[in-house]
Amino acid sequence: MAFSTLTFLILFLPTVILSYFAVGLIGRLISHTSLGNKDSLVNPLLPLQNIVMLIASLIFYAWGEPVHVLLLISASLLAWMGGIGMRWAMKNQRKRLELTFMSVTIALLIASLLVFKYLGFLTENLNSIPCFHLPAVDIKLPIGISFYTFQILSYIIDLHRDRIDVQRNPLRFMLYVSLFPQLIAGPIVRYQTIETELSTRRFNADDIKEGTYRFISGLAKKVLIADNVARLSDAIYKVYAESGMYNPTAYDSVGTTALWLASFAYTMQIFFDFSGYSDMAIGLGRIFGFHFPENFNYPYVSHSLSEFWRRWHISLSSWFRDYVYFPLGGSRCSKSRRTFNILFVWMLTGLWHGAAWNFVFWGLLNGIILMIEKIIFDHTGKKNFSRFWGWLYTFVVVDVCWVLFRHDNFYELKRALSRMFNWHSTDWTRLFAENSDVLLTLGFLPLAFFLCFPIFEKFMSKKGIGMELTRALLAFLLLLLCFMYIISSSFHPFIYFRF
């Protein structure tokens, strides 16, 4: 089930909100009257609210993946039992047993991820070697397996590092893993972030209001911006991909300018698609009393690639930094070891996004550019570079990297990159005739580019009754527009669902 569908917006979400807050209201009434508690915000029925959220989350996941929900439950119970065993061993000072519990749990979780996500890729590549003749593997990828596996791994590792306490309640732990707002596309929420809120959430009207605004803004990013610029990018790439063999004249119509326009549109699409989902997840979390970490911080204002990755998919970047890069030695080691650490982490980052070579090359390319950046900045100093040229360089590099990210067909990728950097004129009249979406969606690009900068957010963050009314009216209009687009347009799944 996706957030941007009528089923979710009209049926699922209202039902969950009504059920959740009805239980909460009853709990506060009990607290205020029967128990004589003056603080009406205390809720003795929070465990029942947790059960409501857990059932809703499992239904949400099982809606499109009825079989794979068993994998989610199994992974949760495995990690819960592993955590209990680790804590018992630590308490009794049995270090080797604690390491055994941790190693077995991590190994089984990673094995599950490898089988469901990478076994087919590995088999296909081995079969390309003459001496291998393995049977083909076609396993459907469970949605969100990369996200919830990484969440569970962070819990086990942090428990080993004694940064968190063990969760003894299996239902509460399963709720942490399966919370539907962030279950299938992040952000990757670490246990310590919501450890307290799993057992002591309180009703907060401001959280509900701000969470609602955040959800609507994320929905608008996805439905009004991402889906429309996607039509532009898809239209150009489709004409180009089908050209040559099927339509030679179309190949001639898609020139260098058109392909740069397509890459720019995809650069906008992937940001508004994924940051829109993150905004919706964070907003829904706040409505139900959970405070998830920020996942994007205007990445396209960055003046270097290293800054970009501090602002893009923050929960994933910080996960690899804390659980892979630092344990490998980080940058506090020899140059050769540091080079290996960076390339290894970025290869894993690429593979995390998908079991395909284009993702591996995308990750390695980012790692290589980051190393080059560090060498240049260490020798010349970052302050010597113009902020404008730093921004332009970063934006162009990111844009080209997204071309690798988008194309898993190396023939199409090679053709696209070759024509982007070797001038060919574009026959716009013929291109518009091939696909009308190219013309119809062009107007969304300037709006998308403008919203990549924090100007609008700074304006909307001003205080005062007038601004509050403006925000409420804008939220209502955006929600209305989103419903209109959802009803009239075809469904576009979130890009990160496949990861």
Query: Which residue in this structure is represented by tokens 């083909």?
Result: 136
The DSSP 8-state label assigned to residue 272 in this structure reads: H
Tell me phi and psi for residue 243, to 5 degrees.
-80, 175
Annotate 333-353 with three-state secondary structure: CCHHHHHHHHHHHHHHHHHHH
399: CB partners within 8 A, 6+ apart: 263, 264, 267
3 state SS of 463: coil
- What's the CA gap between 34 and 19, in Å, rounded? 22
Token pair for 381: 């100093």
- What's the CA gap between 148 and 179, in Å, rounded? 10
DSSP 201-256: ----HHHHHHHHHHHHHHHHIIIIIIHHHHHHHHHHHHHHHHBTTTBHHHHHHS-H
Q: Which of 68, 160, 303, 353 is catalytic?
A: 353
- What's the CA gap between 212 and 226, in Å, rounded? 20
Helical packing angle, 387-406 and 256-287, nearest 10°: 90
Residue 169 near residue 193, CB atoms below 8 Å: no
Whether 353 is a known active-site residue: answer yes
The DSSP 8-state label assigned to residue 495 in this structure reads: G
Enumerate the active-site residues. Answer: 353
